């Protein structure tokens, strides 16, 4: 077997020798079929459950009597159930599906000991079911992103131990002499998450630290789950899918190196800016602000790499379901990260904090960036695992337009409403030198934006239903007869 002669070739998924490549990839796909389908279906079910919780929580923001007769459906419980179902249910399951599959393909090795991974996945989803039920039953921990009851922690920890060890072993069994940039991101994510989760659970839930250390730990964990788990998974997937689908090497290996190490260096410090104005040492806030601003470096680097890889092939990309979703997510990674750096500045933070602007920012990162790239990954992965194409291009197109338009409108609506909310909360009457607006007056002014949020949520729900139907339909179809089938395209004649 011959190996690439340059670093640029080594980092490109399209630069593999052609001999026996298709046979190796087919073997990898067959060995990953059960795992890929299992985690995709589990993620899909949690996506639908999380969507239901999201709609209920959103409607309650402007109609407090909606489902008000049941304590299970109070806003505090259903909102936390939504958040945890989407993060630990949808986001983690789809990460367990897409990232190991890409890792296995880049390692060029048949997947072994799948029962270990499957065992971990079953335990993970049992833990999430117990955790979501515990939240709805009123047993939740009052810390954002860690709301699952304490008795769920051992289940999730054991499950991730099996999954994480399996991924590391998979990398150990690789048949290639080089490491792709996507593998860097995936390996880092699977090393970073146990450290983040263990420290947060110990210092907040099981052996609570004192005073403001708990709040520091909370925001350190919440921010880094996005930055050191979801972000590496999504960016690593984009680094694989964009050149793979377009048949073009990634623009610059050297930029990818800078982007990876800058992310690893700076993101761990970010997130503390959420505590600006709190009883936290000033140097901690300043360090977090500097790190958040320095995140501009990896973001711009990744943006250049992705954009320059796609440039000139926009027509081909628009025809591909995978590229539509992945490029949309990549663009929003740039936008949400730059906005996050701006929000770390004290002059901006004093307006946007404690408002719906922060909620907009969360949806922008977790959905517009991460989830959209994962949608693209599933659209590329499932046909290869199942040896069949998507049954309906129309459902894919419906999914694309409703989610892309829906989440964009939601982010914009919440950002505008939150910014106005922040200005009103900070406004001072020059004559009386007291608040210019009463608190309830400010809250009432946000109701139109909450109604629009619910309407955009309905639009996104339509997309999720289309996605659900397409996957179930695809799973019920017969495999291809061995002849090569054309990929599902969204632009006729492309």
Q: pLDDT (tens digit, 9 = 90+) per residue, 306-361?
A: 989 998 888 888 889 999 999 999 999 999 999 999 999 999 999 999 999 999 99
pLDDT tier for residue 271 given thresholds of 50, 70 and 90: confident
pLDDT tens-digit readout, 383-401: 999 999 999 999 999 999 9
The DSSP call for residue 5 is: S
Q: Are 86 and 50 in contact (CB under 8 A)?
A: yes
| Residue 210 DSSP SS3 | coil
Vertex 104, ends 99 and 105: CA angle to 5°? 100
What distance in Å separates the CA atoms of residue 149 and residue 157, rounded to the nearest whole number? 13
pLDDT category of residue 452 using cuts at 50, 70 and 90: very high
- Any idea which of 100-104, 168-172, 483-487 has the lowest mean pLDDT? 483-487
Dig out the tokens for 24 from the structure.
């190796």
pTM: 0.93
428 bridge partner residues: 435
Contact 134, 84 (CB under 8 A): no
Q: Is the pLDDT of residue 455 over 60?
A: yes
Whether 491 shows a pLDDT value over 80: the answer reads no
Residue scoring higher pLDDT (494 or 91): 91
Task: Say if CB 131 and CB 88 are below 8 A apart.
Answer: yes
């Amino acid at each position: 077997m011959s190996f690439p002669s340059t670093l640029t070739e080594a980092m490109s998924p399209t630069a593999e020798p052609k001999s026996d490549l298709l046979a190796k990839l087919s073997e990898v796909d067959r060995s990953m079929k059960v795992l890929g389908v299992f985690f995709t279906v589990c993620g899909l079910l949690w996506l639908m459950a999380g969507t239901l919780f999201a709609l209920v929580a959103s409607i309650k923001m402007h109609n407090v009597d909606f489902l008000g007769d049941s304590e299970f459906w109070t806003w505090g419980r259903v909102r936390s159930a939504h958040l945890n179902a989407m993060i630990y249910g949808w986001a983690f399951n789809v990460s367990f599906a897409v990232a190991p599959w890409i890792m296995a393909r880049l390692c060029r090795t048949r997947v072994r000991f799948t029962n270990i991974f499957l065992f971990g996945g079953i335990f993970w989803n049992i833990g999430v079911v117990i955790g979501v039920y515990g939240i709805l039953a009123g047993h939740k921990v009052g810390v954002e992103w860690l709301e699952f009851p304490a008795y769920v922690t051992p289940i999730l920890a054991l499950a991730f131990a099996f999954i994480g060890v399996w991924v590391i072993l998979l990398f150990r069994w690789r048949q290639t002499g080089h490491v792709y940039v996507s593998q860097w991101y995936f390996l880092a994510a699977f090393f970073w998450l146990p450290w983040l989760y263990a420290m947060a659970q110990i210092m907040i839930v099981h052996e609570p630290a004192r005073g403001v250390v708990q709040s520091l730990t909370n925001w350190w964990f919440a921010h880094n789950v996005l930055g050191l788990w979801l972000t590496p998974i999504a960016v690593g997937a984009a680094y694989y899918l964009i050149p793979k689908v377009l048949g073009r090497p990634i623009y610059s290996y050297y930029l990818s190196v800078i982007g990876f190490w800058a992310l690893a260096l700076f993101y761990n410090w970010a997130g503390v800016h959420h505590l600006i104005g709190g009883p936290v040492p000033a140097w901690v806030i300043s360090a977090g602000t500097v790190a958040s601003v320095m995140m501009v470096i990896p973001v711009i680097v990744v943006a250049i790499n992705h954009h320059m890889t796609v440039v000139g092939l926009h027509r081909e990309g628009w025809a591909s379901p995978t590229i539509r979703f992945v490029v949309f997510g990549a663009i929003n990674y740039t936008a949400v990260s730059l906005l996050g750096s701006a929000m770390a500045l004290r002059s901006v933070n004093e307006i946007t904090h404690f408002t719906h602007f922060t909620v907009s920012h969360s949806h922008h990162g977790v959905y517009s960036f991460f989830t959209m790239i994962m949608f693209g990954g599933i659209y590329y992965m499932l046909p290869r695992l199942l040896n069949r194409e998507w049954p309906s291009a129309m459902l894919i197109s419906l999914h694309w337009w409703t989610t892309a338009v829906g989440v964009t409108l939601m982010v914009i609506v919440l950002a505008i409403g939150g910014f106005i909310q922040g200005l009103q909360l900070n406004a001072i009457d020059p004559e009386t030198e007291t608040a210019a607006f009463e608190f309830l007056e400010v809250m009432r002014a946000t109701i139109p934006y909450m109604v629009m949020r619910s309407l955009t949520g309905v639009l996104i729900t339509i997309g999720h239903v289309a996605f659900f139907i397409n996957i179930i339909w695809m799973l019920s179809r017969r495999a291809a007869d061995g002849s090569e089938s054309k990929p599902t395209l969204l632009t006729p004649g492309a």
